[in-house]
Structure 1
Amino acid sequence: MSPSTPIPTPVVFVHGLWIHSDSWRNWSDLYRQAGYDPIAPGWPGESATVAETRRNPAAVGNHGIDAITASHLRVISGLGAKPVVVGHSFGGLIAQKLLAGGHASAAVAIDPGQIKGVRPVPLAQIRAALPVLSRPGNKKKAVSLTRKQFRYAFGNAVPQAESDELFDRWTIPGPGRPLFEASTANFSTRSPAAVDTGKHDRGPLLVIGGGRDHTVPEVVARAAYKLYASSRATTDYQSFPDRGHSLVLDHGWQEIADFTLAWLRRQGV
């Protein structure tokens, strides 16, 4: 690369609970074509492939929000510039923490996990979280979804066959701890799910909600967006009314990805 060639802006993709980092492959290809330099690191204990991670579920167990954030900070520290961070589900929560901490130039939080201060707890969200929260012992364990549970939590807005295909292709065991931490955030003075939403000197943030999402119902995503009302920094919200929690994985992924790219261009990032 010659001295006059601009260095591509790095992008860090952060996946959510129960999904492998390889699920960002299509997004990475699209962002690379758009001139960015994307990477998609896994969560602590996650193996290089879906199959390997499934064979060793104990490795991902008992890692909480702080540990996941710290692992991505270590990745970011090795980059040549502040990245754009794009996160889905709990990855969206992590993206907000990284942006507020000054570690990202911009962030996109897609169906983001519940941050401290969000009040709505819809019944659909409770049902989607029951595979973990129904047993207190799951806090220190890795938990896997069944096809039926995945269908409700992720694949309810796509055909059954596609939901099953996504389940077979991308699902992995996930640590229970982040769900317990998020669900009790409003009762904890030092919750790892806390984000400084009042900062003025951060980069731009885009929050995306899916209107048919069960895991993070749109009312939860919108409530997170409203917490930023006192900040003078750019904070935008976009709803996709017909999309469920699988919106970054399923056949309609590019609609979401294209929207995020257009938004980043508008921010000059």
Structure 2
Amino acid sequence: MTSTTKTPIVLIHGLWMTPTSWDTWAERFRAAGHDVIVPGWPGIDDRTVDDIRSNPAALKGVGLKQIADHYERIIRALPQKPIIMGHSFGGVITQMLADRGLGVAYVGVEPGQTAGVTALPASTLWTGTPILSNPFGRNGAKPLSKRHFHFTFGNDLPRSESDKLWKEYAVNSYNRVFFEGVTSVLNEKNGVTHVDYDRADRAPLLIMTGEIDHVVPPAIGKALVKKYRSTGSPAVVDYKEWPGRTHRIVSQDGWEEVADYALAWALEHAQQPAAA
């Protein structure tokens, strides 16, 4: 990691993806002078998409707490607290890390809901059907079909263009992560994704959604913000919805505007850096 006085940034990818899904934002933030750390989930690390597809065994049985603990170890080894941004299930992990007080500002980019946020639009349920339809596969690592990738990530594109992106980015699922995320929705106190919504000392949090996202529609982002704000906590929780954006918001045409907004917001609202 190169030396810099600017706040470091940790980027957390989501389900079905690898750290390469963040290449756009990571390079832009590095060009702005930030150290950017983009670790893979346990079992993904720095492996290639083809390698993971051919041998997904390391993804099996890995759950959300294990992933959050993995990122906590990485963050605590940094010389100062970072800005933490997470996409989709990476946004769930970002909220879990916020509950542990590990960052100076947080951005949930189309983040999944944490425990007790019960908004589950039909399109969101459909994205999980290939996994949730087989409870016996709870600890498996199911491949993501091209058809399902088109619905979840490429719904603004012709199928042929979506298929090209599938080949470049998509990997198997961590089935346990999806089951834990869904079951936590109905178990606010004891769900794996439990957070203290009324925490007063939580660093500022920004929730961003895409208008035509099938996985995390705006209804989920708005429900999350409502949940945090309903407690009366003085901690900052802001919301931004992006017209015409899908679940591929971090690389979809026009991603630069979204990335610049997220970074500007985080820098404006960041708490004073402190040792991690």
TM-score by length of 1: 0.94
Match of 1:232 in 2: 234
Counterpart of 2:197 in 1: which secondary structure? Answer: coil
Match of 1:175 in 2: 174
Q: Kindly report which structure 2 residues correspond to 1:112-261, keeping only aligned pairs within 5 A, or say none.
A: 112-188=111-187, 189-229=189-229, 230-261=232-263
For residue 183 of structure 2, what is the amino acid of its counterpart? Answer: T
Q: Kindly report which structure 2 residues correspond to 1:53-132, keeping only aligned pairs within 5 A, or say none.
A: 53-132=52-131
CA distance in 1, matches of 2:270, 2:185: 35
For residue 208 of structure 1, what is the amino acid of its counterpart? Answer: M
For residue 197 of structure 1, what is the amino acid of its counterpart? Answer: Y
Q: Mark the runs of 5 or more structure 2 residues left unpaired by the alignment.
A: 272-276
Residues 143-198 of structure 1, C-alpha deviation per residue, up to 9 Å, x if partnerless? 11111001111111234343222211111112111111111114334111112111
Q: 2:33 aligns with which of 27, 32, 35?
A: 35
Kindly indicate whether the alpha-carbon contact (under 8 Å) linking 1:14 and 1:42 is maintained by their aligned counterparts in 2.
yes
Q: 2:11 aligns with which of 10, 13, 27?
A: 13
Q: Mark the runs of 5 or more structure 1 residues left unpaired by the alignment.
A: none
Cα–Cα, structure 1 residues 62 and 225, in superposed 2: closer, same or farther, change >3 Å?
Answer: same
For residue 162 of structure 1, what is the amino acid of its counterpart? Answer: E
CA distance in 1, matches of 2:93, 2:63: 11
Q: How many residues align?
A: 265
TM-score by length of 2: 0.91
Q: Percent identity?
A: 38
Kindly indicate whether the alpha-carbon contact (under 8 Å) linking 1:166 and 1:249 is maintained by their aligned counterparts in 2.
no
Kindly indicate whether the alpha-carbon contact (under 8 Å) linking 1:23 and 1:170 is maintained by their aligned counterparts in 2.
yes
Kindly indicate whether the alpha-carbon contact (under 8 Å) linking 1:107 and 1:205 is maintained by their aligned counterparts in 2.
yes
CA distance in 2, matches of 1:241, 1:249: 15
For residue 204 of structure 2, what is the amino acid of its counterpart? Answer: P
Per the TM alignment, residue 268 of structure 1 is displaced from its structure 2 partner at its CA by 4.8
Q: State the superposition RMSD in angstroms.
A: 1.5
Kindly indicate whether the alpha-carbon contact (under 8 Å) linking 2:105 and 2:270 is maintained by their aligned counterparts in 1.
no
Kindly indicate whether the alpha-carbon contact (under 8 Å) linking 2:16 and 2:173 is maintained by their aligned counterparts in 1.
yes
Kindly indicate whether the alpha-carbon contact (under 8 Å) linking 2:211 and 2:243 is maintained by their aligned counterparts in 1.
yes
Bigger drift between 171-180 and 243-252 goes to 243-252
Cα–Cα, structure 1 residues 252 and 163, in superposed 2: closer, same or farther, change >3 Å?
Answer: farther
